[in-house]
Amino acid sequence: MFAPDDKPSILESRNVTVGSRRTSMRLEPQMWDALESIARLEGMTINNLCTQIDFRRRKTGLTSATRVFIVSYYRHLVRHFEGDGARGDVALALQVLDVEVGRRPGRVTDPQPVEHSDSSDVNWPAEG
């Protein structure tokens, strides 16, 4: 599922052009990958997308607004597919956490999913 060259989550600085000004942003490699994917899917460049994010952001910095945009974009996709009856996969969520965030041994036991009712909540054990 995950390639052996998955990048560790370290901030990476890149220059972007927002409107007519050049600036830099520090994002995790996964966030840069997501931003590139979104721009490609939407037929935009990263500079165009960052310009649109900058134009719409409120009282937050561009980097923070970009992270919020990325998460919101993917949440919107999830909501779209939830309408088709799709359910979250706890095993996939744990796999992504282990690879992208890192396992924290001894801190939290593996969560035990419960039967799904109409809501898609999962009971996570309390930290010990």
Q: What integer pLDDT is reported at residue 90 of this predicted model?
A: 60
- Give the global pTM: 0.65
Domains, the chain, in order of start with CATH, read 12-101 (1.10.3990.20)
Residue-wise pLDDT for 12-34, tens only, equals: 999 999 999 999 999 999 999 99
Residue of 90, 95, 97, 96 whose CA lies nearest to 114? 90
Q: What integer pLDDT is reported at residue 65 of this predicted model?
A: 94
In whole angstroms, give the CA distance from residue 71 to residue 36: 14
